[in-house]
Structure 1
């Protein structure tokens, strides 16, 4: 097993009571639905990471960040371990583009009570902790 625990940042983008999720391909968590996000880089703030990853993955520019919580995510099959920091953010204009087609098949907006399955492990773990994303909508 990789002895390193990585820090991931997940941007929970809300608009009109819906959340943006992408269908992952080509990396751990393939064929699950996840928020935009990625690795926290050295010297980067959590907000900077959420903004950078969202733009790289969707072309959207997000603002106004609130801490939502964190999860401890162990991917047994891939021998990976992450601590994922979730932030709620908003983006009032534009539609997401598939800017990394090798990593994401599609982006879609989902009602908070009608989330697709299967969800990416960190998002599943967050919801297991009874975090109410809707209180931020």
Structure 2
């Protein structure tokens, strides 16, 4: 990868019982902020496959009903990174989110979309600034 080349991330809005799953980030990039599960889109991978893989790797949860949503473009000057984040919504019907990557995530918690914690990871904050709200029907498991 070339320096300063934009990267593609996938952010997964995991919905269950009217709530969305967020993790408290650890590590240098965005440490201390609350973020959706997600990660880098791999070569040849669909957005939906990336979403399912990342949620499983990070939380141990299986997701279904994956629907493409909006995107954001965020520059992190302090880290020399630029991400285009493709958001999807998905449902998770059962199971508890596990901390599968303790070096990257301190905790998983469920929150009401209208009452998210602070501080938020910049791509999620950018998404909120657009006024995006997951469709009510997507909150059903």
TM-score by length of 1: 0.96
Could you tell me how far apart the structure 2 residues matched to 1:23 and 1:3 are?
26
Give, in whole Å, the separation in 1 of the partners of 2:88 and 2:76: 21
Q: Which residue of 1 aligns with 2:70?
A: 69
8 Å contact from structure 1 (residues 17, 134) kept in 2: no
Aligned to 1:109: 110
Other structure's SS at 1:127 match: helix
Aligned length, in residue pairs: 137
Which 4+ runs in 1 deviate beyond 6 A? none
- Give the structure-2-normalised TM-score: 0.93
Cα distance in 2 between the residues matched to 1:10 and 1:56: 14
Question: Does residue 80 of structure 2 align to residue 79 of structure 1?
Answer: yes
Name the SS of the counterpart of 1:56 in structure 2: helix
Distance 1:2 1:116 in 2: 32
- Specify every segment of 5 or more residues in structure 2 that has no aligned partner in the other structure, as ranges: none
Unmatched 5+ residue regions in structure 1?
Answer: none
